[in-house]
Structure 1
């Protein structure tokens, strides 16, 4: 039973002194490194593809003869359809494995991104970006499960932060392409989309070269040892276990969506329209706005990695609350300055806080999720939150159209005030929803049975090192107590029934 309003407290101290971070990193095998970095690259590709639109808003508006709020419809539609992709590819991953669903997902994204670079009118562009959302929606859950489940528990906090900041790295790469390549080629903004497509193909090729996740193979062998062998039988079991999980954990599913709604508003509200904000409200050119975006993403990368690492010691929720408060503190630096140095410092600090809190999310959701559904549950919660927050850019664009300010005698949209209000309100919501939430299910999710194994959807269905099923939690406790009582009773009976031995007999 999920217990909400769990107190915020530090994790219990380890039973023995943990190994140093360097020692743990050096102990990783080449395959573990490869799994992690391919998961990271997949998420980075997702960000490059998504932010291709954010960085091209002025060029797209000029190309299609539209206003900024019209162009941001493409961002909204992409976010809306991502939940569809999260369900489809998450289910495929938990049912069929981590490898080929992710390869297909990346190739689909590459094809749609390539097509977006060839569109000739705004309707075609919106249609491609809507379909593109389905492809993008699956990547996060698959990338997170690929990257994290094969790592030792002690490294997962740091790995979570580094993984999540693949998003910021992708934004940075897209910004550099937009800054250096796009202005030098006659096709303009289309070059950014085509380059992003090529990077996604590269990510798919690398994942195709690696084997299936060793943890998933282990779970599949355990299922087959229990008699679940045929694919049709596995699918029937999977559907039955999924239904049982949803019936038991529906409140946890709702909570996770609310949590990710707040997080996605925080991320998209501070990123999607930032280049436009720098140009329209602060009066900088696109080159300078892109440099400020790069500086902000450097803050995001450092914040995500640091927060993920420190969450191993502070706990996931305390870390989230701390970095969200840090975000709120730096909102004035984000919106008040008019110089490039001040605004760049604000971007760095705010993104350090925003993406620091985000750096905990991959491992927090993985540990919160019902263990057999660690690709589907986090991915769907993430993308449903994305869907609810999909209008972030449009909200800010519309707000800017109604809330004006005067810069150097020119009336312009006041995106500074709009973004400041939105980020502040959302930060308060994220803190609230994190404080009332749970930390349950635990960190050893890689030892859990697959959802297509009989009983695999149960919270206490685990496999040991030999692939043999055993139970933990309340079931294991009750069984151990019963066994101890039976053993004690047996010993008492033996001592009572044992005949006395005389010294003569003994001699």
Structure 2
């Protein structure tokens, strides 16, 4: 709801914009730039949306909306299962190949390093050819590569396959979140973003359940990989039966996706030339966030097995409860971000998490570790729950498949050594466990690293842009967003924008615009 209170125009330049963004954190209203049909702009304050019943928000989604959302959620879950099938079984793989856990985590580094390449290739394919077939290809090849991992007899073969796996894994995220959130109603996006992001945590839970089910024998890691392969291939085959994204179909009808590869590449370079500051900001933010999740979770099972000396079953159960907290936190805080703001939700989550770090790494025993892990990941993934919709709202509309996936995966690439760094430092640093044994210092290493990263997230988000409430559900990719939103509002019969009121028709609200970061 607009207050019609005039606001200071959006600042120009990096430092003035950052200063203004920081100041806006302490103003409950939202600064919005309004563009009328003549291209004239003004800036005003809008009142935030009131908190709404989440059930009523879920009921706003049509059957088509749910169809696309659940398909994207399932693909993201399978992607996470594939990845965590390795990270949660580092100790088994270390015994199987006769290598240190640091050497095994090299596979995680290579996977994350090459995901950015896959994000660029398949994100562009998703924007040019549609969401459907790039995802089908992605998921089936991921399943095949999981099987190839099982038949990797040497450590070198294992690393080579995991490198290829990262290349194709990178293409899932961008297409999955674009397909899931493009059609969500505006005021339901925070909640749906939180639920969607927890597909990653749910994939971790499934991997931990599989690890618990197969037991602690060295060879049992292969069974978990078979399960992951079946899930990925199954998702790819089911996706064939689903329709193409309606937004992409509309864009194709408008003639915006019939260009050649060279023309599309030129358009991409134009986008980067105009939005390079925003791209750099989002890459920095996603670098922090990827360090955030991988540092706090990839070696957590190893931490419980080595430093806390739990058995495989106890460590797996604690991991399951830990990631259950992530699913709950991501959903709740993603939902609240719709009302308190994207940046405020991320900042508060990061600061609360910093306070909880001692309670996360100091407890002894399965119950205490399960409880502390639950609340730790509640706030880690609570901040993450805001990311899908935040990136989509910041994204240029014609690159909504490419932009979120690419910035996310470049952040992944930069943070790719996170698990390897934790393992390397922990294995060279020794502490005395409660049992009196000398053990690797996984807890202190993860605690210090996570504290630094949480601070980085809070600072970066505090000085960055936000476009909460951006109306991209009616913006056709590659079509002028002002005109598209105008037509959609009139067709929907929005009482605030009918032609019967000329002053409102002349200056229609479209979205929070901040071309200059």
Normalised to the residue count of structure 1, the TM-score between the two structures is 0.86
The alpha-carbon distance between structure 1 residues 234 and 446, as it changes in their structure 2 partners (threshold 3 A), is farther
Aligned to 1:131: 164
**What SS does the corresponding residue of 1:120 show, helix, strand or coil?**
coil
Report the counterpart of residue 155 of structure 1 in structure 2. Answer: 188
Cα drift, residue 93 of structure 1: 0.5
CA distance in 2, matches of 1:101, 1:93: 6
- Gap runs ≥5 in structure 1: 469-479, 486-507
1:58 Cα deviation after fit: 1.2
Out of 413, 419, 431, which is 1:405 matched to?
Answer: 431
- In 2, Cα distance between equivalents of 1:344 and 1:100: 40
Deviations 1:279-314 (A, max 9, x none): 111111111111110010010000000011101110
- Deviation string for 1:382-432 (max 9, x for gaps)? 111111111111111111122210122321111111011000000000000
Among 121, 129, 132, the residue aligned to 1:99: 132
Q: SS of the residue aligned with 1:449?
A: coil
Q: Within 5 Å, give how 1:72-111 maps onto structure 2.
A: 72-111=105-144
Aligned residue in 2 for 1:490: none
Match of 2:238 among 196, 199, 206: 206
Shift in CA distance, 389/484, structure 1 to aligned 2, threshold 3 Å: closer
Cα distance in 1 for residues equivalent to 2:472 and 2:141: 29
2:465 pairs with 1:438: yes
Distance 1:484 1:269, change over 3 A: closer
Q: CA deviation at 1:373?
A: 0.8
Corresponding position: 1:420 with 2:447: yes
**SS of residue matched to 2:484:** strand
Correspondence for 2:94: 61
Match of 2:54 among 11, 21, 24: 21
- Helix, strand or coil: the match of 2:438? strand
Give 1:98 deviation, angstroms. 1.0
CA contact (8 A) 2:330 2:381 kept: yes
Residue 36, structure 1, aligned to residue 69, structure 2 = yes
Per the alignment, residue 249 of structure 2 pairs with 217
The Cα shift of 1:153 comes to 0.9
Contact 1:404/1:411 (<8 A) preserved: yes
* Residues 195-235 of structure 1: CA deviation (Å, up to 9, x unaligned): 101001121122211111112212222x23xxx68x3x354
Give the unaligned 5+ runs of structure 2: 1-11, 31-45, 491-501, 508-517
Deviation at 1:242, TM superposition (A): 1.5
CA distance in 1, matches of 2:347, 2:275: 24
Structure 1 residue 23: deviation in Å? 3.2
In the alignment, structure 1 residue 375 sits paired with structure 2 residue 401: yes
Shift of the 30–247 alpha-carbon distance from structure 1 to 2, 3 Å rule, reads same
The one-character-per-residue Cα deviations of 1:146-199 (angstroms, maximum 9, x if unpaired) are: 110011111111000000000110000011011113558x95111111110100
Q: Retained in 2: the 8 A contact 1:47–1:168?
A: yes
- How large is the Cα RMSD of the aligned pairs? 2.5
